[in-house]
Copies of this chain bind each other. A is one copy, B any other.
């Protein structure tokens, strides 16, 4: 079997570390693995299988001779390095939002639009975590009863803000539990321990946060549908690493609950989990758990569901690695 030269940008962050773990778990065919991070992390040693890999800083020739580069850095760094990666001949699978809505760049959830992977020019974008988790739960239903609109309220874990988000929740919680008064915050705009913050990213002119509009735009691109309507409210909650979503789906035809449950049960990547999953139960799982499936009390074309998924795995790292596996499977690599 062919093996590949792989690199991870942002290897010490929450998503980067999860990528390393998943590459090992899935026994991804790796010849050489390079780990890049900011200068603060350079020299750290990360174990991968039976090797110890030193974290390196990116230099002029970092991308030479690579097949795939996974991006787990912010938009600025993704934009900075993308041209060099592409020029070097590697494929850049990027988890930032820098390229997601660009016309010539595929945005992929492998269970939903794998065929789009064929039309890339060196960059493939990984969707936002809330989009992946919510759309995974909706798509099987969409296939048997086309969805016109979803109304989504999210309950998003602090891991969405990386290791520093997890640290901030844990630090605040420890202090509050031990009667210490000096609660500070810098990652989130307010205290998140024992609190909720209905803002993820900045607000746009229309009153929606960036996170909410990502869900709107990314869903329509992934589904190739300008008819698919999304009305979304994104809320940060004091949960470590799994996102949950309460979703109301307005469909084209009358809802048949048994059919919906059957199609969810059979869909690759979904676990039908009744009466409901909690985010804690989905920690470190790749499957999106779906429960609370019930008809609207007044409208027979509308159905509700509740889903949970690990934000760091299927919401980020696993999806990116599945995209790489698609490329291998399609022999584009």
Give chain A's interface residues, CB within 8 Å of chain B. Answer: 149, 151, 153, 155, 170, 173-174, 176-178, 190-191, 194-199, 203, 206-208, 213, 216, 229-231, 233, 235, 237-240, 244, 246, 248, 275-276, 278-280, 291-299, 302, 304, 306
Contact = CB atoms under 8 A, between A and B. Distances in A.
B198 A246 contact: yes
Pick from A194, A237, A279 the residue with the most CB of B within 10 Å. Answer: A194
B280 A190 contact: yes
Contacts of A297: 206, 208, 213, 216, 229-231
7 contacts: A151-B151, A194-B238, A195-B239, A196-B244, A197-B278, A198-B291, A231-B302
Contacts of A298: 149, 229, 231
Nearest to A239: B194
Given A197-B278, A278-B195, A233 B208 contact: no
A193 to B, nearest CB: 8
Contacts of A231: 248, 296-299, 302, 304
Contacts of A248: 151, 231
A203 to B, nearest CB: 6
A195 B280 contact: yes
Q: Is the interface of A mostly helix, strand, loop or mixed?
A: mixed
A207 B238 contact: no
A275 B189 CA distance: 12
Given A149-B298, A195-B239, A198-B292, 7 more contacts: A153-B246, A170-B177, A194-B238, A194-B280, A206-B294, A208-B294, A233-B246
Nearest to A191: B280
A191 B231 CA distance: 30
A11 to B, nearest CB: 26
Contacts of A235: 155, 244, 246, 306
B206 A295 contact: yes
A240 B248 CA distance: 27
A279 B196 contact: yes
B207 A292 contact: yes
A194 B199 CA distance: 19
A313 to B, nearest CB: 17
B276 A199 contact: yes
Contacts of A302: 231
A280 B198 CA distance: 12
A207 B304 CA distance: 10
A276 B304 CA distance: 26
A23 B294 CA distance: 42
Contacts of A207: 292-295
Contact of A237 (B155, B178, B275, B295): B155
B216 A306 contact: no
Pick from A176, A196, A230, A294 the residue with the most CB of B within 10 Å. Answer: A196
Nearest to A302: B231
Nearest to A293: B207
